[in-house]
Amino acid sequence: MIRSGLLGRAILASSSPRLHEEEGRALGLELTYELFDFTQRGLDDADLAATVASLKDQGFAGFNVTYPFKQAIMPLMDDLAPSAQAAGAVNTVAIRDGRLIGHNTDMPGFRDSLLAGLPGARLDHVIQLGAGGAGSAVANALLSLGVARLELVDPDSARAQALAGELAERYPDAQVTATPHDRLDTAPAQGIVNATPIGMAAKPGTPIPPDAIAPHHWLADIIYFPLETELLRVARSKGCRAINGIGMVVGQAALAFEIITGHKPDAERMKRSLG
């Protein structure tokens, strides 16, 4: 039996159990994928360490991590893979011989999704909303693709500034800045990326005013439930090229499946299972 799961908040509607369990069956594996929703279970953020220790004691092969724990879980790891070190966040944990090894599959998942879903998108100037765990991975992906100017916008200005500083050191040829919400001007940018939880089923709304989106923008939202967030609906109504988070979630899930189970999945089959 291979036991895996997902740690986070407001995740009961997640498609991850179906993605992983159906792929496990297709590969002839006896695999379970459990949701550990801290909100539904009445757990505090401070219970993260105890929950992780419990999964290790129960013999889990590994687990995924989502909002709001992708950065908070890093100090609990015994080792960090290069992907997690580069992204500054962990979204996949493999448990091997009692050791917790943190990985990040969000970065390649988003990068490949953007290339496939928005081919030829201009990358001179991109605005990214959100500088948390997912935002760190997404920003690294954008800069690795050659974004020349990246503006980070986050309600936590100190967090945005800290991430901008780290990225500026890692990508010296790019201009990376942190911009306060009240000083944001989207007009000069070609692309807008939503890496915040705003727009999820449990957090409806838009992270920026609808009138900040113009027809010349392309837009990528990493949210996949619902498939069309309010932000995407507005963008498409204005004629923008836009993608949701399905490509990213399938890409990162396929990599996570292999890290946790040691078996290579069929990513296209996993994508079809969401249909």
Binding region:
14-16, 66, 91, 106, 130-134, 222, 224, 245, 252
3-state SS assignment for residue 163: helix
SS3 157: helix
Residue 24's nearest CA partner among 275, 200, 244, 269 is 269
Binding residues for shikimate: 14-16, 66, 91, 106, 224, 252
Side-chain half-sphere CA neighbours of 62 within 13 A: 24
Q: Judge whether 70 counts as a catalytic residue.
A: yes
Active-site annotation holder among 56, 70, 203, 238: 70
CA distance 73 to 137: 15
**Six token digits for residue 172:** 């010296």
Q: How far is CA 182 from the centre of its chain?
A: 25
DSSP string, 76-109: G-SEE-HHHHHHT--SEEEEETTEEEEE--HHHH
Q: Where are the beta strands (DSSP E) in 167-255?
A: 175-178, 191-194, 218-221, 241-243
**CB burial of residue 228 (10 Å; 0-12, 13-18, 19+):** middle
- Helices (DSSP H) in the chain: which residue ranges? 16-26, 48-57, 82-87, 106-117, 133-144, 157-170, 230-237, 246-261, 267-272
Residues acting as catalytic residues: 70
